[in-house]
Amino acid sequence: MLSESNNEKDNEKTGPENTVQPDDEQSSDTAAAEDPGEETEISLSFLVFDIAGTIFLSIVILLLLMALFVRQVTVDGASMNNTLWDGDRLLVQCNNYTPRNGDIVIVTHGRELDEAIVKRVIATEGQHIDINYSTGEVVVDGVLLKEPYVTGPSRSTMNALEMPLTVPEGYVFVMGDNRGNSLDSRSERVGLIPVENIVGKAFFRWYPINTLGSLDR
């Protein structure tokens, strides 16, 4: 009888403990349900930082590439009207550039010029150029140039070079598109431009915004 009574008491003691266990399990389940939410927030934070870091790194790399290979210049003057205008801002390819006929280039100076100028390449080394100063026609290697970009005929300038001529190795012959208001290779003051004095090729106009676009032909 005693042992049975004791057993009953033991059962009574253990009974409440059994009723507590579901509460423990429920609290454990609740905690488990909260953990994924915290992990999601942490994952999103890391994702945001990762994206921001990638964007920042991309901008740094782009700026470094531009510093090495691309320059920005601002047009000063009217010698390239109506292709370029005073105040236009251009991007210039500086490295690994070989002059080609028709390219718009930035040159550091001519014979008497200290500042960089922007002109168009008309003839490169080895080419034969002839300008008829009476008619304003330009002939390169026996072919009459079609120049829809010029504002007028190519007339003689002060101290003009004698025509025809063959461009020596390592030089280019350049002119502005505004032929009536351009100091360029026609004049002895500028003359033929050494290739090493070419800063690079202007390939893109980014300002004013309404004229934004490529300068390639």
Distance CA 140, CA 128 (A): 6
Q: Judge whether 203 and 216 are in contact, CB under 8 Å.
A: yes
Q: Judge whether 121 and 100 are in contact, CB under 8 Å.
A: yes
Give the pLDDT confidence of 175-187 residue by residue, as tens digits.
999 999 999 999 9
Q: Which residues, in sequence order, are CB contacts of 37 under 8 Å at separation 6+? A: none
Distance CA 129, CA 182 (A): 18
Examine the domain organization and report whether 39 and 94 are in the same domain.
Answer: no
- With CA atoms as reference, report the closest residue to 201 among 87, 74, 95: 95
pLDDT score, position 110: 62
Q: Judge whether 180 and 156 are in contact, CB under 8 Å.
A: no
pLDDT score, position 66: 67
Residue with the two structure tokens 């790399």: 61
Distance CA 73, CA 105 (A): 11
Examine the domain organization and report whether 87 and 66 are in the same domain.
Answer: no
Q: Judge whether 81 and 177 are in contact, CB under 8 Å.
A: yes
Positions annotated as catalytic residues are 79, 119
Q: Which residues, in sequence order, are CB contacts of 208 under 8 Å at separation 6+? A: 87, 88
Examine the domain organization and report whether 92 and 28 are in the same domain.
Answer: no
For the domain that residue 106 is a member of, what is the CATH number? 2.10.109.10
Give the pLDDT confidence of 89-130 residue by residue, as tens digits.
999 998 889 999 999 999 987 666 668 899 999 999 999 999
Examine the domain organization and report whether 2 and 82 are in the same domain.
Answer: no
pLDDT score, position 195: 95
Amino acid making up residue 93: Q
Q: Tokens representing 118?
A: 């922007």
At 45, is the secondary structure helix, strand, or coil? helix
Q: Which residues, in sequence order, are CB contacts of 79 under 8 Å at separation 6+? A: 117, 118, 119, 176, 177, 178, 181, 182, 183, 184
pLDDT score, position 92: 94
Question: Which residues of the chain are under the pLDDT cut of 50?
Answer: 1-33
At 135, is the secondary structure helix, strand, or coil? coil
Examine the domain organization and report whether 157 and 195 are in the same domain.
Answer: yes
Examine the domain organization and report whether 120 and 63 are in the same domain.
Answer: no
Examine the domain organization and report whether 113 and 19 are in the same domain.
Answer: no
Domain around 14: 1-71
Measured over all CA atoms, what is the biggest interatomic distance in the chain, rounded to whole angstroms?
Answer: 139
Domain count, the chain: 2
Examine the domain organization and report whether 66 and 98 are in the same domain.
Answer: no
